Amino acid sequence: MELQQLRYVLAVAEERNFTRAAAKSHVVQSALSHQIKTLEHELGVQLFARTSRRVELTEAGAAFLPAARATLDAAQRAIAEATSTMGDLRGRLLIGAIPTVTTVDVTAALGVFHRAHPNVEIGLTAGGSLDFVTAIRESSMDVAVLGLPDATAPTGVSTEVLAHERLSAVMSPEHRLASRRGLRLEDLAAETFVDFPSSSPGRSQSDRAFAAAGLSRSVAFDVMSTEVMLDLVAQNLAVALLAPDVVPEDSGLSTVPITDGPTRIEYLAWSEFNPSAAALAFLDILRATSAQKVSP
């Protein structure tokens, strides 16, 4: 069994089409088809059910796919680790970042990393902290910046605390409370809020804080983008609870501290089992970026 055959299987499984899979793999379709047929003959099972118009994984193919992907990932990691001993990092680096990162400049760190290690393929994705933790455990992501409530510590990954933050109330300057120097949660209980979706850690820290204070609140807008949140706040349609550094200085919005407001911890996370050389190198750059941000 050859690694190239596994790559072809994954390409066909993702594209569900031999022609597109061949184009993605930069090979003529006849060669790709021949390699997959050879592999199927070697395994003694059919991996794909195909007609001239339709391609689907068979039951055997679906069972084969996870191990094939893991084998390729392990091979790529082995190549990257071997070349790193000669000072030439290669392979892949996939980074996850929550929308409300405040302690590190991820894009600047990626720029520094790329200039130092131009042969590493870099990817960046935005999303939720719990999804990132799962991806790191499954070796489909290398490093992530997380934001979690105090009561929700990540497990199954290596972590480093970047900051403890208390969220503030963000509101339009036209809001009746915008001129206040400080607030309590009870001052905000009657307000309309914009927040992250209810299933996300970014939302739960605020929900827990209100529940602990014996208060309820109305969240009329569920969004994943901080830009959309701030746009809704600017229109005086809602109040947001965010880390102060998330709000641009030139936004014109009012950011008011909440003495009993929700808190969160921002983490760096990476594989505790087998971090790649590229991941470790990127972590060093992120730590340096974090130190520069907090230095006087």
Residue 7: which CATH number?
1.10.10.10
Residue with tokens 């131009």: 118
Q: Residue 180 and residue 21: Cα distance in Å, rounded?
A: 60
Whether residue 175 is found in the same domain as residue 225: yes
Domain boundary among 36, 53, 84: 84
pLDDT recorded at residue 158: 95
187's CB contacts (< 8 A; 6+ apart) are 177, 180
pLDDT recorded at residue 267: 94
Whether residue 69 is found in the same domain as residue 211: no
Whether residue 274 is found in the same domain as residue 154: yes
Whether residue 246 is found in the same domain as residue 106: no
Whether residue 237 is found in the same domain as residue 286: no
- Cβ-defined contacts of 34-38 (< 8 Å, 24+): 35/2, 35/4, 35/5, 35/8, 36/5, 36/8, 36/9, 36/12, 38/5
pLDDT recorded at residue 291: 52
Whether residue 41 is found in the same domain as residue 151: no
Burial of 86 (0-12, 13-18, 19+ CB in 10 A): exposed
pLDDT recorded at residue 235: 97
* Model pLDDT for residues 33-80, shown as the tens digit of each residue: 888 999 999 999 999 998 878 899 999 999 999 988 888 877 777 766
pLDDT recorded at residue 182: 96
Domain count of the fold of the chain: 3
State the residue range of the domain holding 202: 168-261
Partner residues linked to 257 by β-bridges: 168
203 close to 129: Cβ distance less than 8 angstroms = no
28 to each of 32, 171, 196, how far by Cα in Å?
A: 7, 58, 46
Q: Residue 14 and residue 61: Cα distance in Å, rounded?
A: 12
Whether residue 248 is found in the same domain as residue 274: no
* Model pLDDT for residues 154-173, shown as the tens digit of each residue: 999 999 998 888 999 999 99
The CATH number covering residue 95 comes to 3.40.190.10
Mark the ranges of the chain whose per-residue pLDDT is less than 50.
Answer: 86, 292, 294-296
